[in-house]
Amino acid sequence: MNANAAWLVLAAISFNLTRAAGTLASRFHTRATTTTIRTHLIAVPARIARSARRLRLHLPERWPWETAWHALFTAAAGPPAAAT
């Protein structure tokens, strides 16, 4: 019984986080379904490259949801910290 309650809580949290991500991304994704948000913003067709101990994300050229993904990333992670 406790395991079912834990799965229900996790499903509710993931649903709420997905809806919040859609709201932060764009006006279109605010009203989109969970599947659309997952395919457009979460399952990103990107390549990860590592150099100089930094990770870089290479997004595809002319990717239609780049601006929405960038808005979501900026809202969630914020601008990079200034070097001192």
pLDDT tens per residue, range 63-73: 999 999 989 98
Average pLDDT over residues 21-46: 93
Residue type, 16: N
Q: How far apart are CA 79 and CA 42, in angstroms?
A: 20
Q: How far apart are CA 21 and CA 4, in angstroms?
A: 26
pTM over 0.95: no
DSSP state of 26: -
pLDDT tens per residue, range 17-31: 999 999 999 999 999
